[in-house]
């Protein structure tokens, strides 16, 4: 058996689309020796079920990312504007673990959308949203970062297999369900993007706020850098707040009285930290690419469904007339292929005694049974590369 898809891999030059002027390394060459393959490996993986892929990636022939927007507030200018003096070594005036500080309250008082609502304990329980657009106009925002980030990738075969799920044959044929797990094999040196492995730490969040936003829920956020007693930035930030854009002005007119609010204004929601779950996420070797999307036509080598040998042999969904494992694998391949909206010619079925677990980067040679690409079978572990051992690709 020839190496899978040897004759069907993308060929020809890859045309790079115009990119915004951001500080990212440029790709100098495309091919097996591309410098994008150095840090993480030549293959990356995307695990998802077929229903999701049909609705999204296969529909558009790409894995789409998100535009992450981060406003960096000018902490020294804010402290100077309100004549606030530091009493600690570094600024405690922007702290997500404390109630509103003097600096935050000053911003709320001046840029607030709406009125105070004092309860019987004289505590303001009104909506504490402030107009970020006006803060920018008044010089209180140091800069605005916009980067496209595409996530959901991994350098670990096992982690992507986990994202895809387990093959449940007895569920596939019920009501035409498509919860079929697939792992997309992408050639990293055909993706014109910078890849970063996520580390769910505060230090990583400081270094890569856009990726932190993509990994959690902070697609729009404002960050407040720390300041020392000399009014100098310390290189880190202590406060992250949620930002949203007013898209329905009429709904705000009913609730807020500030006539200076306009449709399209960005406002800060002080109570919400968009990255509050980031450091509690489980590290699974997740990769993020600084790009707005990944083109599957250019980068996808194949789509693999990993199946346990015992699960196929005991399934009631496979006709009794198919009495050999090869016949059942062929039946399974055809059934999945018929449900795929695209790239059905790239499908392979890899049967093993055990499927890859989260921490594994390959199938053990002793556990491999066979691979079927729709035309041919192989029981050779080497011939089944990269679906058996991606690192050998």
Domain boundaries in the chain? 38-62+155-191+294-392, 69-146+197-280
117 confidence band (pLDDT: 50, 70, 90): low
pLDDT at 340: 95
pLDDT at 369: 95
Collapsed DSSP state (helix, strand, coil) of residue 171: helix
Asked if residue 24 has pLDDT above 70, the reply is no
Residue range 194-234, pLDDT digits in tens: 899 999 998 898 889 999 999 888 889 999 888 877 777 77
Residue range 280-332, pLDDT digits in tens: 887 778 899 999 999 999 899 899 999 999 988 887 778 878 889 999 999 99
341 confidence band (pLDDT: 50, 70, 90): very high
pLDDT at 266: 92
Burial of 14 (0-12, 13-18, 19+ CB in 10 A): middle
Of 11-25, 86-100, 335-349, minimum mean pLDDT range: 11-25
Asked if residue 187 has pLDDT above 50, the reply is yes
Report the C-alpha gap between 7 and 298 in whole angstroms. 14
**Is residue 386 reached through a cis peptide bond, with omega within 30 degrees of 0 on the bond before it?**
yes
Note the pTM of the prediction, 2 decimals.
Answer: 0.81
Report for 14-23, 87-96, 244-253: range of highest mean pLDDT? 244-253
pLDDT at 101: 67
Of 25-39, 162-176, 312-326, minimum mean pLDDT range: 25-39
pLDDT at 87: 65
Span 115-122, average pLDDT: 69
CB 104 within 8 A of CB 75: no
| Cα-trace Rg, the chain | 26
Q: How far is CA 112 from the centre of its chain?
A: 33
Report for 5-19, 201-215, 216-230, 246-260: range of highest mean pLDDT? 201-215
pLDDT at 30: 36
pLDDT at 393: 74
CB atoms within 10 A of CB 79: 20
In sequence order, the 6+-apart residues with CB closer than 8 A to the CB of 305 are: 167, 180, 181, 182, 183, 332, 336, 347, 348, 349, 350
Report the C-alpha gap between 299 and 301 in whole angstroms. 6
CB 27 within 8 A of CB 195: no
Beta pairing, strands 300-308 & 347-352: parallel
Single out the residue of 388, 377, 323 nearest to residue 353, CA to CA. 388
Tokens of 303: 């789509």
Span 343-351, average pLDDT: 94
């Amino acid at each position: 058996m020839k190496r899978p898809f040897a004759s069907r891999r993308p060929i020809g030059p890859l045309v790079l689309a115009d990119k915004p002027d951001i500080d990212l390394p440029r790709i100098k060459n495309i091919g097996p020796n591309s410098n994008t393959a150095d840090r993480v490996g030549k293959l990356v993986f995307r695990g998802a079920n077929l229903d999701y892929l049909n609705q999204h990636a296969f529909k558009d022939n790409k894995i789409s990312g998100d535009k992450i927007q981060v406003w960096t507030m000018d902490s020294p200018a804010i402290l100077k504007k309100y004549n606030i003096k530091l009493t600690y070594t570094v600024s405690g005036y922007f702290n997500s673990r404390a109630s509103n500080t003097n600096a935050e309250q000053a911003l709320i008082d001046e840029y607030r959308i709406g009125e105070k609502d004092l309860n019987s304990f004289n505590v303001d329980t009104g909506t504490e949203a402030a107009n970020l657009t006006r803060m920018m106009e008044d010089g209180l925002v140091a800069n605005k970062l916009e980067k496209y980030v595409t996530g959901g990738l991994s350098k670990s075969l096992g982690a992507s297999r986990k994202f895809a799920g387990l093959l449940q044959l007895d569920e596939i044929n019920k009501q035409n369900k498509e919860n079929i797990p697939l792992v997309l094999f992408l050639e990293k040196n055909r993706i014109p993007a910078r890849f970063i492995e996520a580390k769910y730490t505060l230090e990583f969040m400081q270094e890569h706020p856009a990726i932190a936003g993509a990994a959690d829920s902070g697609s729009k956020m404002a960050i407040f850098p720390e300041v020392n007693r000399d009014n100098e930035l310390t290189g880190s930030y202590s406060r992250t707040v949620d930002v949203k854009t007013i898209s329905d002005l009429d709904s705000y007119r009913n609730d807020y009285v500030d006539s200076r609010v306009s449709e399209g204004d960005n406002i800060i929601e002080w109570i919400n930290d968009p990255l509050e779950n980031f450091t509690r996420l489980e590290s699974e070797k997740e990769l993020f690419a600084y790009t707005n999307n990944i083109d599957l036509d250019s980068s996808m080598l194949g789509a693999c469904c990993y199946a346990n040998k015992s699960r196929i042999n005991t399934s009631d969904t496979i006709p009794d007339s198919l009495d050999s494992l090869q016949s059942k694998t062929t039946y399974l391949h055809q059934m999945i292929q018929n449900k795929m909206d695209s790239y059905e010619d790239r499908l392979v079925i890899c049967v093993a005694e055990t499927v890859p677990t989260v921490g594994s980067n390959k199938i053990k040679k002793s556990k491999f049974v066979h691979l079927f690409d729709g035309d041919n079978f192989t029981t050779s572990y080497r011939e089944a590369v990269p679906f058996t051992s991606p690192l050998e690709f």
